[in-house]
A and B are shown apart, each in its own frame.
Chain A
């Protein structure tokens, strides 16, 4: 997807729900996800989204067991 095709949609995340399994990182087709250096209140290593690489395909939403991600219209 080129820049001109980018929509107003945006991936958001609720980091407090994350359990740090990393399934989203494995499945992301654009390598837009990576483990953050921070932990959430449960003590799990959470995930960062690189919004520049992200194409809002929502595969992270599909695979996440903990409903961390959502695709919203900006």
Chain B
């Protein structure tokens, strides 16, 4: 039985709220970078939101991008330093609302970077406002009666926006069970490998939870992702080695 030790890339305890999925995703990413031998040549781009808290606790090099524009900054780094493993780490409000254009155009151009988009269906750091990914009927501070899809539209499905494009790798994972987390690690590993093999744009969306702003305990948060969120945002691999795998 092998040892399971906290990755050395996690240089300090994280600063996230109790039960936040970011802590799990941070650890999985750290494991993948260490196991791939890329810990010393990884460069991340952060933009805004809770994701930025990892800049102090996750021991890779970081570039702070303007609000939402992590993909544009990561593209610049990758073009100048192609030997580096360049990734973005953003939440859904960051990458799919504020930075929707930069996120999507990096995929349209098939830029050779890896994007990790954390989808918890809410703007977490700013206090739980409705995000593009909030579910119909979901109560937030800016949709106190529940999101009305008739006036605010349907939740944004980034995988649907990207899966028709000629990109390298596309997957959606979750942190809502140990099995899901193990699958998530495979997805992130494949995404990083795709980039380092020159396979083009790779993106992994991660269904996460925000117990603080959902105002749910851990048990309800996990059940919400498993029973409700996954029904609207199905998990799995959608593009692999440039080929659609979901069709």
Contacts and interface: CB of A to CB of B under 8 A. Distances in A.
Given A67-B23, A70-B6, A21 B219 contact: no
Interface string B178-192: 100110000000000
B120 to A, nearest CB: 13
A63 B24 contact: yes
A67 B10 contact: yes
A18 B159 CA distance: 34
Interface string A12-55: 00000101111100110000000000000000100000000000
Interface in B218-247: 218-219, 222
Contacts of A21: 18-19, 211, 218
Nearest to B20: A65
A37 B60 CA distance: 37
A65 B21 contact: yes
Q: Which range holds the interface residue count of chain A? A: 20 to 34
A61 B181 CA distance: 11
A24 B13 CA distance: 18
A9 B177 CA distance: 23
Contact of A61 (B1, B4, B16): B4
A56 B4 CA distance: 10
Given A65-B24, A67-B27, A26 B218 contact: yes
A58 to B, nearest CB: 5
Contacts of B2: 71
A21 B181 CA distance: 17
Nearest to A72: B3
Interface of A: 7, 9, 17, 19-23, 26-27, 44, 56, 58-59, 61-67, 69-73
Interface of B: 1-6, 10, 13-14, 16-24, 27, 175, 177-178, 181-182, 211, 217-219, 222
19 contacts: A7-B1, A9-B1, A19-B17, A21-B18, A21-B19, A21-B211, A23-B218, A27-B177, A27-B178, A56-B1, A61-B4, A63-B175, A63-B177, A64-B23, A65-B24, A67-B13, A71-B1, A72-B3, A73-B3
Given A22-B19, A65-B14, A65-B20, 19 more contacts: A7-B1, A9-B3, A17-B13, A19-B18, A19-B19, A21-B218, A26-B218, A26-B222, A27-B178, A44-B18, A58-B4, A64-B24, A65-B22, A65-B23, A65-B24, A67-B10, A70-B4, A71-B4, A72-B5
